[in-house]
Structures are given as structure tokens and as C-alpha cells.
Amino acid sequence: MKRLVHSLLVVVVASVVLLVLLDQLNSSQGYSSGNTLTIYNWGDYIDEELITRFEKETGIKVIYETFDSNEAMMTKIVQGGTTYDIAVPSEYTIEKMREEDLLIPLDHSKLPNLKYIDERFMDLPFDPENKYSIPYFWGTVGIVYNPTLLEGMEITSWNDLWDPALKNQILLIDGAREVMGMGLNSLGYSLNDTNKDHLMEAKEKLDRLTPNVKAIVGDEIKMLMANEEAAIGLVWSGDAADIMSENENLDYVVPEEGSNLWFDNMVIPKTAKNIEAAHQFINFMLDPEVAAQNTEYVSYSTPNKEALKYMPRDMVTDERFYPSPELTEKLEVYENLGKKNLAYYNALFLEFKMHRK
């Protein structure tokens, strides 16, 4: 009996020593045990140096994952396999997530840096009073083009893209609303149209664009355009800015028929495990110097008014990426069209993709 007690004691002491050593190892790397934050963001959408800085400053370990569409992000959150503490959906998806009770109301008292966000980007219809979401980046959808490959051809309108001279010269981002939106806008319809005949007409018009479409791609569109693999790209504005910083031959235009104005915001999903750390991270990203560094890195447009003061003047005065309120008022924000309509958009987009094969 005495021997058994002695052996048990040895095991307990050894386990305690092991736990202490493991904890010391963690804290020597700056992390306290159990304090992790899982973030789910778009690809190429943060300066990862800032994640390292946040980890060092707070001792919180960040697990970082990326997605390439609102739909993919939401499916994963609903499935609940991985529990995310922060996600970055766009406006119509935020509305959908609110409707489906997937978000936690934010504690604004833990976000003192929220005061740096320009009022223009606060209290928008998809989230009145910013109860669930905090602005991260914003922008437009438009055309990035390479005049040196276009032999004098002017690009000002969506309809220019149907010119047979552009055979195999167009790259499209892989987004159902963006591509269907281009078809709808080119016909003079709204980006939020739910009339089935209009949507079919837009899809058939897109089918006629097929000979000009070289590929439908993800973030690699930036590398392909910068390497002059195509003359035209349907892109989000920040990607255009990034491409143009790599290759000065290129330019960006928001087509005259109209286009999309979008907002990506940070949210805390209902399944979050570290709500405290999530608030800390959101507040960190709102710090003007941090936001400025992040903006310079990803090239998208920041809603942080104070951050603009830390950024190069030519960047923040570039009307292609910081369009005036007069222009943005003419653009359309995607609305949450409801499950059925969204499924129809996705189905038509898929058919268009199949039509190309």
C-alpha cells in the first residue's frame, strides 16, 4: 500500500513539473495557455506582421484562416466545425448573419478606437448603430485594364467588354454577385434585381462574353494582370490598386452604367470562444497607425479617418480608390436578397461557368 501511495505521488509530482515547464515554454514565447484567438478573413487581406505584433503585445496566440467568398465563409460558420472568434463578411452577408442569429452584439465600451472611423461608414442600413459589425475595408467593383495591350481602345463601360477585339483577354474574379452584377448593370438593371427574366437575360448576355473570357480566378488575378497575361480584369478596387503598384501600365475605372459599392466589416460569430480577445483584436485594428500600415499593405481603402493622416498623400487623394461621396452615392450596395434569390444567382453563375467549358 505504502509503495502504491509513493508511486502515485511520483506520478502527480512529475505531471505538475511537466505542466509548469510547458507553461513556462509558452510564456517564453509570449503566450499564456488557453488564450487563443481564431480569425477568419478574406485571402490577402491583412499585413501578417500586425498579427505577430498583436500576439507579442497581448500574449494572445492567433490562429488565422482565410476564405474567398462570403458564401464559403458563411457555410463554414453555420457548419460550426471550427469556431471562429472574428470573421470579416461583406454588408449583405452581415444582414443575413444577423437574420440567422449568427452574431454576437459588440461591446462598444471595449472599442475606444471606434471613434477614428469616418461617420460615412457607420450606422449603415445593413447594421444600424453598428451593433454587430465594425468597418474594416471598403471599395468598389470595376475594370482594371492595360492600355498598352488595347491598341487605343477606350474602356469606360461594361458593354466595352463584349467587343470581339477582346477575344481571350478578360479575367473575372470568381464571385457570383460580381459577375452576375456585371451582366445586370450592362443591361441597365439593378445589382439587386430579383426578376427571373432579367436574371436569365443577364446570364445569356454573360454567355455571349465567353469568347473574351480567358479565366475565372481568385486572388491570382493580381499576379496575372500585373504580368500582362490579359488586358482586362473584373476586380475589387483594392486588387486593382495592388496590381497598379506592381505594373504602372495599368489603370482602373468604375464603369459608367454603374457598379457596386461594398463594405467588409469585422464581426464576432455566435460560436466565438474568446469574446474578450476578439474585442481586443478589433480595437487593435482600429488604431490609426495600425490601420494605416494595414491599408498600405493590402491596398484597399480604409474607413479609418485618422489613419489617412499616416498614409502617403498620393494614395489617399487618388479618386479611383477614394471616390468622392457624389460618386459613391451613384453606386449600389448589395442587398440581402434572401436564400432563394441568392441560390438562383449562384445557380446561374455556375451555369455560366459550365458554358465556358
Query: Residues 77-80: contacts with CB within 8 Å, 24+ apart?
Result: 77/40, 77/102, 77/269, 77/271, 78/102, 80/271
Q: Give 320 or 355: the residue with its C-beta nearer to ligand SPD.
A: 320
Least gap, CB of 13 to ligand SPD (angstroms): 52
Q: Give 213 or 261: the residue with its C-beta nearer to ligand SPD.
A: 261
Binding-site residues for spermidine: 92
Positions that interact with ligand SPD (CB under 6 A): 42-45, 90, 219, 236, 262, 264
Estimate the crossing angle of helix 176-186 against helix 339-355, to 10 degrees: 80
Q: Give 86 or 166: the residue with its C-beta nearer to ligand SPD.
A: 86
Least gap, CB of 68 to ligand SPD (angstroms): 8
Least gap, CB of 262 to ligand SPD (angstroms): 4
Contacts of 3 (CB under 8 A, 6+ apart): none
Angle 139-145-149 from CA coordinates, rounded to 5°? 170
Binding-site residues: 92
Q: Which of 285, 288, 282 is nearest to 306 (CA)?
A: 288
Least gap, CB of 284 to ligand SPD (angstroms): 20
Q: Give 158 or 236: the residue with its C-beta nearer to ligand SPD.
A: 236
The helix or strand, by DSSP H or E, that contains position 251, with its residue range, turns out to be strand 251-253
What does the alpha-carbon distance between residue 345 and residue 199 come to, in Å, rounded to a whole number? Answer: 8
Least gap, CB of 43 to ligand SPD (angstroms): 5
Q: Which of 278, 290, 277 is nearest to 32 (CA)?
A: 277
Ranges of beta strands (E only) in 94-177 are 133-145, 170-173
Q: Give 165 or 223: the residue with its C-beta nearer to ligand SPD.
A: 223
